[in-house]
Structure 1
């Protein structure tokens, strides 16, 4: 069967555009906040809505409740399939139907659970993350209709915003319903609303709690201060020892990488400054491209520190302290390997012979796209045809643990990470929104990609 032309797919999406937007509007109104209870009735209603919308575009979809590893009830998940030819390639489409909470509605300019269009953007909680992903899958399948040439499997998760505790048990219990040649994860975003991107990599993550001890008990700072440094100062010295003069992390065994698939365009420093809220005098740490520093090189953050508050402080030398380090690892490094390297470094660099002990925390593997995979080439071609401009691939500095888990469970599958977000989307924040022109082009992209994968 011949491939569909981009113009034909665009025409079909235009005809279906009102329905696609309505799916997203109704999804926002469901208030599917998983933090209110992943097993709750409102999450079941959300799953049932998504399953019904998928059935409307030809997917044999159903709602199933996951179980946690301890056997307790888990999230309401949506799974389904559309088999066109047992000999054809199979594509798994992923999104999630749960959304982030809204702690304070007063921080929003609109009602977060009433879809509101302002200009060319649609505002509402879950508009981009990940109602947009659901709308993309629905629109692409509707556009292809009877011309679909690949088998489709669908998994719309109900607890992604809660860390996916029942994700692995659910997949293990439904392995046949997930097995695919290509997995499209529509939960990331584009370089901008007008420039498409594949997400090429995700950093891993590991944590350690570090205790620094100098004394058996507190002592007066006037009596012993000088030869004896307080544990907080020693801890600060220990943290500082991880970096070189340029601010690059310099821990043997903790690896760094360059952007996966090459770097088409570096991040704009002015934009990063504005987005991060960096004070004008602050000079960015590290060397190399900003992209590599934020996507593929390791970074350590002190995310917790046990020290006496300023209020009520007094002249005592703190005998010991504990701090927590979060280490973002290069996409291809095993996090437990980096964790051990970090722990060994910290113990061996104890300042002035202080006692340093390290308690290991949880590990999450990073992920790197295969830039040479056939599906990658097809996706990049589809993006350029849909958006009319060449894509700019980008990594993510954060971690999405279920993606490497999918790759681990299905090692032969080609994984593509796409998505509806752009830098203005404000996912997880007040005034979340989605670009409607960007959404339309994302639908066209996925339809084109599915068509190409069927060749």
Structure 2
């Protein structure tokens, strides 16, 4: 074990350089103008995997972004492990809000800043480090699958899994796209919330009216919309939509000061909802208004607005059905509009939640690897966000054991400005994955 740990350390400087090169590629699939950068990113990932010793490397696409699949065949009787990551990144937002250029990796205080440093190009780096530490010849089969449109909801993933099912078939699936409890304590993610969203439009008039002449007599659409959106929560901030599912969360401590530190709550702003933080964050539904279309302030006039609309995003607790929850949200919006306003709800994306039974030999092997790499007992946690493709993998490969790991920590700020990777976490995550491959290749650990 100590020799393998040292080999991880030996390969990390080169892996970090490879990671920085990937971060410099602006692989934002959501931006049509940068689709060429996504292709360039796929080409770079394919070359890295080929250079690492994978003999079978291909770039594939099923009507969406390019993905990379690389295979190292399993020795006789050994299991095959699928290592997942994604090479696309979120849009960077306002460059002026970054402390350093978003696509120029910059180290400060032991963290590497830049878009995709953690989410999820560090997942690619973790897989590279683990494979290289084994000299390109681990005692298990390894398939690396690097997707190219995860940040856009993985719309072509089901087609990729169907078209390349035999190539991707595996006994264990490691998804390196999640969080850790802290920079010193690792996590195994065992539950993720689902996602559903919609656009709600309210209409009260067939044209705008002078607010002085008709204000106080006929309702404007924006006031209606505000009142309708306010009905989604009770006075404590709990979701007030009927038909929502609630699960049980892990019994771990999440004190208020940690919430305030990790979120940047402003002075005087309170938490919302009832129950423990893990319960609210991992096991209860949440509804957020993420956008409103109406008249901009600089174009406002004394006019009653005839139409207004909002995008509403909902998180679904593990065990719930995202499609059924979207139907419940739609019914609520249609039935609760004040003053008889007309309501149109347009459904959007749906991603199912997932809960993992993290027991058995594979999970024992993973926890052992985490203990040895981190020097700390891993914590089973949930994720407040959504990773809908986990359910896709479970559906495509029902007999495979799924491990959800990652290189993020509470200070990573994935999807936000100043995203960063803790370099110590990268080393520990890579070491844990290298040890996991060794554990899974040991006699008696995993039956194929």
- TM-score tier by shorter-chain length is 0.7 to 0.9
What is the aligned counterpart of 1:52 among 47, 54, 74? 47
| Closer, same or farther: CA 244–13 of 1 in aligned 2, 3 Å | same
State the partner residue of 1:406. 393
Q: Which residue of 2 aligns with 1:300?
A: 287
Name the SS of the counterpart of 1:331 in structure 2. Answer: coil
Q: How does 1:348-363 map to 2 (within 5 A)?
A: 348-363=335-350
Whole-Å separation in 1 of the counterparts to 2:241 and 2:130: 46
SS across alignment from 1:195: coil
**Structure 1 residue aligned with 2:252:** 264
Q: Please tell me whether residue 251 in structure 1 is matched to residue 241 in structure 2.
A: yes
Q: Distance in 2 between matches of 1:427 and 1:131?
A: 12
Residues 103-138 of structure 1: per-residue CA shift (max 9 Å, x gap): 555544445445443342233433222221112111
* Correspondence 1:242 to 2:232: yes
In 1: Cα distance, 2:112 partner to 2:282 partner? 29
What residue is the counterpart of 1:71 in the other structure? none
CA distance in 2, matches of 1:139, 1:413: 23
What are the equivalent positions in structure 2 for 1:172-321 lying under 5 Å apart? 172-214=162-204, 228-259=218-249, 262-266=250-254, 268-311=255-298, 313=300, 317-321=304-308
Contact persistence 1:96–1:159 (CA under 8 A): yes
Q: Using a 3 Å threshold, how does the CA distance of structure 1 residues 26 and 364 change in structure 2: closer, same or farther?
A: same
What does the per-residue CA deviation read over 1:192-239, in whole Å, with 9 as the maximum and x for residues that have no partner? 221111222222222233344455665665666556544433333333
**Residues in 2 aligned to 1:253 and 1:294: alpha-carbon distance in whole angstroms:** 18
Q: What residue in structure 1 maps to residue 406 of structure 2?
A: 419
The whole-number CA distance in structure 2 between the counterparts of 1:399 and 1:359 is 21
User: Residue 125 of structure 1 is aligned with which of 115, 118, 127?
Assistant: 115
Contact kept? 1:52, 1:61, Cα under 8 Å: no
- SS of 1:154's partner is strand
Q: Is the 1:98–1:159 contact (alpha carbons within 8 Å) kept by the matching residues of 2?
A: yes
Unaligned runs of 5+ in 2: none
CA contact (8 A) 1:420 1:434 kept: yes
- Contact 2:46 2:59 survives alignment (8 Å): no
Deviations 1:7-45 (A, max 9, x none): 3321222333333333323333445444465652x4444
CA distance in 2, matches of 1:152, 1:144: 11
CA RMSD of aligned residues (A): 2.9
Is the 8 Å Cα contact of residues 231 and 320 (structure 1) preserved in structure 2? Answer: yes
Gaps of 5+ in 1: 69-73
Query: Alignment partner of 2:325: what SS?
Result: helix
Count of residue correspondences = 441
Partners in 1 of 2:306 and 2:105 — Cα distance?
55
Give secondary structure in 2 for the equivalent of 1:198.
strand
**CA shift at 1:435, angstroms?**
1.8
Q: Which moved more, 1:360-369 or 1:158-167?
A: 158-167
Deviations for 1:131-168, whole angstroms, at most 9, x for unmatched residues?
Answer: 21112111212223487332111111233334434333
Deviation of 1:243 (Å): 2.5
The one-character-per-residue Cα deviations of 1:77-100 (angstroms, maximum 9, x if unpaired) are 221211232432221001122334
Query: Which residue is 1:76 aligned to?
Result: 66
CA shift digits 1:350-406 (9 cap, x unpaired): 434444443323322222222335433332232122111122333222223322222
Q: Confirm or deny: 8 A CA contact 1:47 1:77 kept in the other structure.
A: yes
2-side partners of 1:39 and 1:228: how far apart? 47
| Alignment partner of 1:9 is 2:4 | yes
Alignment of 1:44-193 (within 5 A): 44-68=39-63, 74-102=64-92, 107-145=97-135, 148-193=138-183
Give the distance between the partners of 1:81 and 1:360, measured in 2 at CA: 39
Structure-2 change in CA distance of 1:360 and 1:427 (3 Å): closer
Q: Is the 8 A contact 1:47 1:63 kept in 2?
A: no
What TM-score do you get using the length of structure 2 for normalisation? 0.87
Residue 181 (structure 1) shift: 1.6
Distance 1:76 1:353, change over 3 A: closer
Q: CA deviation at 1:53?
A: 2.8
Note closer, same or farther for the CA distance 1:333–1:374 as it changes in structure 2 (3 Å cut).
Answer: farther
Q: Is the 8 A contact 1:38 1:75 kept in 2?
A: no
Shift of 1:183: 0.8
Question: What is the TM-score when the length of structure 1 is the normalising length?
Answer: 0.86
Report deviation, 1:287: 0.2
